[in-house]
Structure 1
């Protein structure tokens, strides 16, 4: 049985992960947090103490770590006796942290696909450029590596797997709908790392349509949906991690990801992009300084973790799935609604961080229990969905289903 968790990262998602690990430390064992800034790690630990999140008395330790340094990461895994590593740092760290886990035998969890600083919106399937190159090595070494175990990717993948198993004989389309109907009161801000956030939108938008990769530009394709609690929302076709794995692992010809944006966000984004301020390529100023425009924009925008106090409203994320069952056409929405204020009350974090941070801790608990200790590299849809969704129900992210038979908990018969 694997125990003891090393959390890599000290942003808003890492704070939620720390609180949730603390709430289940009787199962998970010792908890350590590491990032470049030990002060940020210590601030998270103080938040955990202030909220009295620890289920059983224990000390959470903070460490300074450059997670791009594989040897340093291996050394810290061994020093902390961590058998599970939850990587919620920058997506630029994935391959370094994964390598450290493969060489120490620790289970690896992340919440996003790997990125290289000089590349954006890579040729699909994106996982095939990095993580999946190590499928055979993980299998040979018996190393558990669960990719994309956040909300999207993560929970939405589990919903798709559940639908394929229980609700459809054939799925024709999966449309993942991601709506944040909350308000943070800032002129302009992103809900997670601005650098990663903008990089998703400045290149090609890849979707899986008619069993082939299809390219669009950002804000080119729009739809409007009337969703539970948050009501009518405008959503735009966007490239996203889960499309790259679901298109491989499920026999579904159409898989798309849609995200809601207000007109103000679109206007500011468009100006920044047209000015070249969202470029990941370095430029030289008149003074001879070399800067990356995107990093400058990141530096002047609010830290996503700072948005939590006073953030109001709801999120709604769901899979709208269409297909057939017993020869009849069927459509259902599997979804979750989360509340920014509730997230802050429990974890000092806003709702976007909460939805991303709770699932990897549920996954870690399933590794401890053995149900998800796969001893190979997998995406979430390749694992049993029911135990994952059951834990999420208990941990603050309940799943519901809406179809022709009404709106009900996911495990309740129609």
Structure 2
């Protein structure tokens, strides 16, 4: 049985992870939180103490860490005797943290595909450019790595696996729909790291259609759906992490990702992008200063974690799946609805951070008890979904379904 968890990151998702690890520290053991800025970690620990999240008495350790420094990360793993690393830092550090985990033989979890600062929307499949190149090393080291185990990617991958295994004989399409129907009462803000958020939308939009990669422009294709709880919303075809593994691991000819955006967001984004303010490439000012426009925009926008206190409304994220069962056409929507206010009351974070932060802790629990401790690298859809979804039901992210029988919560005994 593995225990002792090192959480890398100091943002809103890391706060959720810290709280959920604390709520399960009878299984996960000593919890350590590390990021480049230790004071952010200390602030998170304070919220854990204020909320009384520790299941058994204990204290979360905090450290300053530059996770791009592989020897420093290895040293911290050894110092804290961590056996599971949950990486919820910037997507720029994935490969470095993975190296440290291979070298120390500890399990690795992340919630997004690795990115290089000077590259966006690379050729698909994105996992093939980075993480999958290390799979043989994890297998040789007999070390577990679970990739993209947030919500999307992550839980939606498990939804897809469940549907393919239990609800269909053949699947024609999986459309992942992500709607945030909340209101943070700011003029303009992103729900997670602005730099990572904008990089998803400033390049090409890749989707898997007719068993091949298809390229579109952002906001070129849209759809409108009447969804559970949140009602009718428009979403736009967007490139996203999970498409790049689902297209490889599931025999489904069409896999697409759709994200909801309001007209105000689209207008502001379009202006920023048109002016070149979302570029990841450095420019020089008249004074000779080198500036990356995207990093400047990130610096002046609200910190996503600061949105939590006044956030209201709900999210609805799920998989709309179409195919055949017993010779008949079939359609289901497997989904979760999360409430921003409920998330804030429980862990002091907004709902987007909550949906991203709970799943890696569920995965850590499955590694701890051996269920998902597979001794190699895998994406979520390559693993049995029922134990994972069962834990999420218990931890605040219930799985629901809408089909010919209506809407209901699913149970996984």
In structure 2, C-alpha distance between the alignment counterparts of 1:391 and 1:412, rounded to whole Å = 9
Tell me how far apart the structure 1 counterparts of residues 35 and 362 of structure 2 sit (CA, whole Å): 22
**Are the equivalent residues in 1 in contact too, given 2:74–2:100 (CA < 8 A)?**
yes
Write out aligned runs for 1:287-326 (5 A): 287-326=287-326
Identify the residue that residue 19 of structure 2 maps to in structure 1: 19
**1:14-413 map, 5 Å:** 14-411=14-411
CA–CA separation in structure 1 for the residues paired with 2:169 and 2:116: 39
Q: CA deviation at 1:406?
A: 1.2
Q: Check whether the contact 1:334–1:410 (CA below 8 A) recurs between aligned residues.
A: no
Return the TM-score normalized by structure 2: 0.99
Distance 1:371 1:89 in 2: 25
List gaps (5 residues or longer) in structure 2.
none
Query: What RMSD over aligned residues (CA atoms) do the two structures have, in Å?
Result: 0.8
Range that drifts further, 133-142 or 241-250: 133-142
Cα offset for 1:411?
3.1
| Distance across 1 between alignment mates of 2:291 and 2:334 | 44
1:342-396 Cα offsets, whole Å, 9 max, x none, are 0000000000000000000000000011000011000000000000000000000
Secondary structure of 1:308's partner?
A: helix
Q: What does the per-residue CA deviation read over 1:251-271, in whole Å, with 9 as the maximum and x for residues that have no partner?
A: 000000000000000000000
Whole-angstrom distance in 2 between the partners of 1:366 and 1:412? 15
Contact 1:171 1:322 in 2 (8 A): yes
Q: Secondary structure at the match of 2:206?
A: strand
Deviation at 1:408, TM superposition (A): 1.4
Which whole-Å CA distance do the structure 2 matches of 1:311 and 1:245 have between them? 32
Note the C-alpha offset of 1:412: 7.9
TM superposition shift of 1:410: 2.1
**Partners of 2:386 and 2:412 within 8 A in 1:** no
Count of residues in Structure 1 that have an aligned counterpart in Structure 2:
413
CA distance in 1, matches of 2:280, 2:75: 32
Further displaced range: 404-413 or 31-40: 404-413
CA contact (8 A) 2:138 2:377 kept: yes
SS at match of 1:34: strand
> Which 5+ residue runs of structure 1 have no aligned equivalent?
none
In structure 2, the residue corresponding to 1:280 is in which secondary structure?
coil
Q: Is the 8 A contact 2:92 2:116 kept in 1?
A: yes
* Deviations 1:115-143, CA, capped at 9 Å, x for gaps: 00000011000000000001111111111
